[in-house]
Amino acid sequence: MSIKQFNGLGVAIVTPFDSNGKIDYDSWDIMLKTINDVVDYIVLFGTTGESPVIELDEKQEAIKYFTEHLSGKTELVVGIGGNNTKKVIQEINKLDLKGVSAILSVCPYYNKPSQEGIFAHYKAISEASPLPIIAYNVPGRTVINIEAKTSLRLANELENVVALKEATADLDQLMNILNERPDNFTVLCGDDALALSFMSVGADGVISVIANAFPRAFAKMTAFALEGNIEIARQYHYALLPLMHTLLKMGNPAGIKAVLTIMGRINEYFRLPLVPISRENYKILEKEVENTIKKLSIIDSDLF
């Protein structure tokens, strides 16, 4: 990959299950037909992939599947994170990560560490990891914010922390990071609805949820935005925006799994404590998906 790694579009892929609660590889086969070669990389077992309920042996089997099924163009990133630093390191050491390009590791949640504790957590992981690390700041889930000064410290002091997935709506924080980061440090948006705004001020790409369902449209929006063609990127953005807002209200990954079910790509099964959206919300999503397809078809007839 380029010196500035993981720029462009990554998709935080859902984990489909069957009626017995097992990972549904047939559904992944279907999804890869629309995603492979369209996105730059796939993020396996992030939040959208229901990482808290995935066992280690399942993770290993899935890594093997993706490394065998992805084309040479599409990279694989695997989520390995948590709020017990020792356990995160143990998982990194136990997994065979051959064919994996990087690890996505979320900010420690629930423990509420200080900024110094956050840095120490990533420092310990970086020293143990054979792969580059993408730090993940998502205060809406972790309650803790990786402040700009801490993100910059990670970028400057930890050689293999090569990128940051920033899922905050704080544009001032984002711009402080972008303004002061090292040249080879990648900053990615972690919120679909903010991706265009982030890229317009200098972010390098996005790790997307909606790209599970509309990979070509979101890939084009990302590419145009990174090329500086904001006016064209804006057309795709606004065609997708109502659906993005609806998905946000319905929760992730419940909303995107419903969309993928509507589109015939997966079955709407979860592992507790997550459950499907209500039938009322499902009907709302059916109409929103139909409207989104119509809008995108007007913009670009080659998408479908």
One-letter identity of residue 10: G
CATH of domain 8-227: 3.20.20.70
CA distance 249 to 255: 8
What residues are annotated to the active site? 136, 165
pTM over 0.85: yes
CA distance 65 to 85: 27
CA distance 124 to 144: 19
pLDDT < 50 stretches in the chain: 1-3
* Strand bridging mode 161-166 / 41-44: unpaired
Ordered DSSP codes for 109-146: -SS---HHHHHHHHHHHHHH-SS-EEEEE-HHHHS---
Packing angle of the helix pair 254-262, 279-299 (nearest 10 deg): 70
- At residue 71, the pLDDT reads 80
- At residue 222, the pLDDT reads 98
Cβ–Cβ under 8 Å, residues 128 and 68? no
298-301 LR contacts (CB < 8 Å, sep 24+): 299/235, 299/236, 299/239, 300/217, 300/220, 300/236
